[in-house]
């Protein structure tokens, strides 16, 4: 028998049953669904991470689509349950979808949505915040102050690293990696080295133009380089920020060997996914190298930290909040809802998931399309001509 699970129902007479496994910020997403004849059921269970059984209970016997979260395990069991309930759509309220087994979704013909773009700047800004906090020892200094230990200015008190003129390294120069690179380069006049499987022509053009601009102002130009290996970035950079997707190629990309080639006083930031770093190896490295610093938004076994990490003063840790600005979270909710709604209504897929502004304009109706379906091609979904 299915577990009892608490829900809040909107528009009970709606024709299409859509389930959201969590309450999400804002109300626009709710309005968009209910105005389009959906009965929306929002799970209000007081449990942060729902397990597969909880979600099966939510899906029930009839469900057209589900809006879910990156903490959930969307694999064979959930996609087959959704298919049996007549569902055709699932959307993560996230850009990353490493919690989703796309092969299983494809097997059951379920469209999988994500929420790119709307979180790019917000996430990059938090990565910058972690970089500065780690470089300048902001959290350590804050704790020292609150503990009443400050008894006057001293030449050696909380000396950290200057960013200006140093080299910032990016691994994964996609939307967020490129936005972060620009913030660091513009903000701190840093030189750039990046590694990605693909060339980021846009970022390279920007770097060249910005260097020219600085020169025209009589300032030292910034330089850039595309590295041919991740190791080249790790060896050369003073600050390294990780922004790749999580998949087989990036799992434990930062491991004991790669940590050992980094500068002893480097700053490492991770706002991508926890398993990109071998966290146990990182803890050992932090212990052995007190001048090496990290800023972490994500962890290998969320919500837990590996033993020893919490005690390391050279680590700044925050609980996966990189996309947590009001505008972004409301936008993510809107995109996730529109992915599901679009598929339920039989709309085509938006042609460019990097240009989703029309869906985010609160003053106009969104286009009749699914903003971002990651398996659209595989499912042979029609592309919008709008």
Ligand X SMILES: O=C(O)C(=O)CO
- Nearest to ligand X of 25, 211 (CB atom): 25
The least distance separating ligand NAI from the CB of residue 288, rounded to whole angstroms, comes to: 26
Catalytic site residue from 226, 320, 329, 330:
320
In whole angstroms, the minimum distance from the beta carbon of 141 to ligand NAI comes to: 24
Q: Which position's Cβ is nearest ligand NAI?
A: 174
User: 354 and 116 in contact (C-beta within 8 Å)?
Assistant: yes
For ligand NAI, give the closer residue by CB, 39 or 243. Answer: 243
329, 368, 377, 358: which is closest to 69 by C-alpha? 329
Give the residues lining the site for ligand NAI (CB under 6 A). 95-96, 116, 119-120, 123, 171-177, 195-198, 243-246, 249-250, 271-273, 297-298, 320, 322-323
Provide the phi-psi class of 166: left if phi over 0, else alpha when psi is between -120 and 50, else beta. beta
Residue owning tokens 């990036």: 250
Closest approach, Cβ 342 to ligand X, in A, equals 19
In this structure, how many other beta carbons lie within 10 angstroms of the beta carbon of residue 357? Answer: 8
User: Of the two residues 94 and 296, which places its CB atom closer to ligand X in the complex?
Assistant: 94
Q: How far is the CB of 101 from ligand X (least distance, A)?
A: 16
% helix / strand / coil in the chain, to the nearest 5?
A: 35, 15, 45
Helix (H, G, I), strand (E, B) or coil at 209: helix
User: What one-character DSSP code corresponds to residue 275?
Assistant: G
111 forms bridges with which residues in the sheet?
89
- Backbone phi, psi, residue 167, to 5°: -110, 130
| 320 catalytic per annotation | yes
Q: Which does 70 bind (CB under 5 to 8 A by kind): ligand X, ligand NAI, none?
A: ligand X
Distance, in Å, from the CA atom of 260 to the CA atom of 192, rounded to the nearest integer, reads: 21
Phi then psi for residue 134, to 5 deg, are -70, -45
252 carries an active-site annotation: no
Of the candidates 182, 226, 243, 273, the residue annotated as catalytic is: 273
Task: Give, rounded to a whole angstrom, the gap between the first and last alpha carbons of the chain.
Answer: 46
Q: Which is nearer to ligand X, 95 or 376 (CB)?
A: 95
Q: Which residues bind ligand X (CB under 6 A)?
A: 70, 94-96, 119, 323
Which option in ligand NAI, ligand X, none does residue 174 bind, with CB closer than 5 to 8 A by kind?
ligand NAI
Which C-beta is closer to ligand X: that of 91 or that of 167? Answer: 91
Residues labelled catalytic: 273, 302, 320
């Amino acid at each position: 028998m299915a577990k009892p699970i608490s829900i809040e129902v909107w528009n009970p007479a709606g024709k299409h049953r859509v389930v959201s496994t969590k309450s999400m910020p804002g109300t626009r997403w709710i309005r968009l669904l209910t105005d389009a004849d959906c009965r929306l059921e929002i799970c209000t269970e007081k449990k942060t991470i729902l397990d597969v059984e909880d979600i099966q209970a939510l899906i029930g016997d009839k469900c057209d689509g589900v809006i879910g979260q990156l903490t959930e395990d969307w694999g064979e069991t959930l996609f087959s349950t959704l298919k049996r309930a007549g569902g055709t759509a699932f959307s993560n309220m996230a850009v990353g979808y490493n919690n989703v087994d796309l092969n299983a979704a494809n097997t059951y013909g379920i469209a999988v949505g994500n929420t790119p773009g709307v979180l790019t700047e917000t996430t990059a800004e938090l990565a910058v915040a972690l970089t500065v906090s780690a470089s300048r020892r902001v959290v350590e200094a804050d704790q020292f102050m609150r503990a009443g230990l400050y008894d006057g200015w001293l030449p050696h008190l909380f000396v950290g690293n200057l960013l200006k003129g140093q080299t910032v390294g990016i691994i994964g120069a996609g939307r967020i990696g490129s936005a972060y690179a620009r913030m660091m380069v513009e903000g701190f006049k840093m030189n750039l080295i990046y590694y990605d499987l693909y060339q980021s022509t846009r970022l390279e053009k920007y770097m060249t133009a910005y260097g020219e601009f600085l020169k025209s102002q009589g300032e030292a130009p910034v330089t850039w380089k595309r590295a041919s290996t991740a190791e080249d970035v790790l060896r050369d950079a003073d600050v390294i920020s990780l922004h790749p997707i999580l998949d087989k190629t990036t799992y434990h990309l930062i491991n004991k060997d790669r940590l050992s080639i980094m500068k002893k006083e480097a700053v490492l930031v991770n706002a991508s996914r926890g398993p990109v770093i071998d966290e146990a190896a990182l803890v050992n490295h932090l212990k052995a190298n007190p001048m090496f610093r990290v800023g972490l938004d994500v962890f290998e076994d969320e919500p837990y930290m590996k033993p020893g990490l919490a005690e390391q003063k050279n680590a700044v840790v925050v609980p996966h909040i990189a996309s947590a600005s009001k505008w972004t979270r409301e936008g993510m909710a809107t995109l996730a809802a529109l992915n599901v709604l679009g598929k339920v209504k039989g709309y085509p897929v938006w042609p460019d998931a990097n240009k989703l502004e029309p869906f985010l304009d609160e003053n106009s109706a969104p286009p009749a399309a699914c903003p971002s379906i990651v398996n659209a091609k595989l499912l042979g979904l029609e592309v919008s001509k709008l």
